Amino acid sequence: MAYSPSQPNSEPIHAAAVSAAVAKLYDTYPFPPEPLLDEPPPGYNWRWNWLAAYSACLGSKPERESVRILDAGCGTGVGTEYLVHLNPQAQVTGIDLSAGALAVARERCQRSGASRVAFHQLSLFDADQLAGEFDLINCVGVLHHTADPIRGIQALARKLAPGGLMHCFVYSELGRWEVKLMQEAIALLQADQRGDYRDGVQVGRQLFAALPPTNRLVQREQERWSLENQRDENFADMYVHPQEIDYNISTLFELIDASGLEFLGFSNPRSWDLAALLGQNADLLARAQALPERERYRLIELLNPEAIAHYEFFLGRSPLPKFTWDADADLLAAIPERHPCMDGWDSRCLFNDDYQIVNLTELEWKFLKGCDGNLTRTIEQLCSEVALPLDQVRSLWQRHLILLTPGQKKDGQK
């Protein structure tokens, strides 16, 4: 029986065979294939920074930095390495099916000094074998390669601590339509050689070379994937993977609802901006904004399918205290710190957490200087030294340039 994401209690009998085939692929082509370094990796990804991710989801800095992090389906440890280096007080665990990928992950982390990590050869379904709970679970590009994603996300959800976050990434069927066609074409041509992944890569590369440049599959490959697919590891992961389930908004939220966790939002919000699509027609934009949340998301992927090749999102387990900082009194009492994910500081022109260029005004720059390493002074105190209007302080938070810790309110304030 073919697995459908809409079958929450489905547990295909071929699950063990699927896991073995997936492990064989990544033993053949360890993934991701990024080079090993003898120093911490360059750059950052805010989704792997506990402080930044918590603030983005809930609006405030978390109370603790000494957290436990699980990289579920860690592969060759590219994300795991970042999780260790970006969270200096955290203990990190990585699990993966592939012994070959784990060997690379161990070497990668050892060489770069990412020592606070333990690796285990386990599937997502076996996460219950790990001791304790985790404050942050990272599961990127994994669930859609299992025989039963719902059982996988439920296994991870059981390991998420109260107040914890889970970051997930799964494929979209609309943005990967051409990829699915090529996957099937390669499988047909491989015939009884399916499962020979080196042969699959060879067949796939021959196909792309033989098809005319006007072919839709060739054009999509050239415009979106070809640079990364120069590496056989990437090409194999995309085109000869033995198991892939792609989603649309409806089936995605079936998966999310089955987890029992709260949806906290997409972690690539610029891809879900209605105004960017319909902003030139006020009537259409108003109609779209009046739709329920999930219907708004569905409308966006229908209107802009090529841009939605995947879904990346955060889930959380209550209690999840959320801060919007709408009240001036709350904002004035908050303690601000400079956001940990920015590049180019302390220049007035820098890259923010999403690698977008930010040009600070003189007052914003002076205020951020006051936030650098700040642990005690409130916004009210800093604004008395730097005359930055409160709305602009709020804008710094909205643009992910500062983190905020709730402060003590004055007597008489509710």
What's the rounded Cα separation, in Å, for the pair 89 and 107?
21
Neighbour count for residue 165 (Cβ, 10 Å): 28
Q: For 358, phi and psi rounded to 5 degrees? A: -125, 130
- pLDDT band, very low/low/confident/very high, at 35 (cuts 50, 70, 90): very high
- pLDDT band, very low/low/confident/very high, at 409 (cuts 50, 70, 90): low
- List all residues 6 or more positions away from 191 whose beta carbon is below 8 Å from its beta carbon: none
Q: Indicate if the pLDDT at residue 411 is higher than 90.
A: no
pLDDT (tens digit per residue) in 192-241: 999 999 999 999 999 999 999 999 999 999 999 999 999 999 999 999 99
pLDDT (tens digit per residue) in 303-331: 999 999 999 999 999 999 999 999 999 99
Angle between helices 15-28 and 99-112 (to 10 degrees): 50
Average pLDDT in the 8-24 region? 74
| Beta-bridge partners for 70 | 93, 137
Percent of the chain with pLDDT over 90: 94
Q: 41, 23, 2, 6: which is closest to 242 by C-alpha?
A: 23
Q: 313, 208, 333, 181: which is closest to 253 by C-alpha?
A: 313
Q: Report residue 296 as tokens.
A: 């708004």
Indicate the average pLDDT of the chain: 94
Average pLDDT in the 120-148 region? 97
Q: 274, 246, 231, 243: which is closest to 175 by C-alpha?
A: 246
The verdict on pTM exceeding 0.85 is yes
Q: Indicate if the pLDDT at residue 412 is higher than 70.
A: no
Average pLDDT in the 36-55 region? 96
Residue type, 168: C
What's the rounded Cα separation, in Å, for the pair 78 and 70?
14
Average pLDDT in the 114-143 region? 97
Domain 15-174+246-316 has CATH 3.40.50.150: yes
Q: Indicate if the pLDDT at residue 253 is higher than 60.
A: yes
Q: 142, 146, 179: which is closest to 305 by C-alpha?
A: 179
C-alpha of 345 from chain center:
25
Average pLDDT in the 378-396 region? 97
Q: Indicate if the pLDDT at residue 13 is higher than 80.
A: no
Specify the pLDDT at position 15.
86
DSSP 217-232: HHHHIIIIITTGGGSH
Identify the burial level of 161 via C-beta atoms within 10 angstroms of its C-beta, where 0-12 means exposed, 13-18 middle and 19 or more buried.
middle
**How does 76-103 read in b/e, with b if 16+ C-beta sit within 10 Å?**
bbbbbbbbbbbbeebbbbbbbbbebbbe
Q: Indicate if the pLDDT at residue 45 is higher than 80.
A: yes
Return the domain boundaries, the chain: 15-174+246-316, 177-239, 328-405
Q: Indicate if the pLDDT at residue 49 is higher than 80.
A: yes
Q: Indicate if the pLDDT at residue 408 is higher than 90.
A: no
What's the rounded Cα separation, in Å, for the pair 153 and 160?
11
